[in-house]
Amino acid sequence: MFEKITSFWGGSTPAPTPEVALQKPYDPTDPKVNPLNPEGLKPCCACPQTKSSRDECYMRYGAEADEKCKDLVQQHITCMRNLGFRL
């Protein structure tokens, strides 16, 4: 009888099912979870060539960068997705 009262007031919560407990969130930097990124690169360090080209384009064109740098942005997105990052 008291178990119902305790659970009603939040004293106990049901245990997660084994399937849910075993699932780990997707971590693109974990080589065990993401074989596309065997070095475990973090997003800030992945695709340095396309990232620097994209950044230079934005610095050069300022307000016009959205239009003029589309191709470089797309190349960087493609590179990141090829490493298993979800964008």
57 burial class (0-12, 13-18, 19+ CB within 10 angstroms)? Answer: middle
**79 carries a ligand binding annotation:** no
Q: Rounded to whole angstroms, how far apart are CA atoms 27 and 41?
A: 11
**44 carries a ligand binding annotation:** yes
Q: Rounded to whole angstroms, how far apart are CA atoms 87 and 80?
A: 8
**Terminal Cα-to-Cα distance of the chain (whole angstroms):** 50
Binding-site residue numbers are: 44-45
Binding-site residue numbers for Cu cation are: 44-45
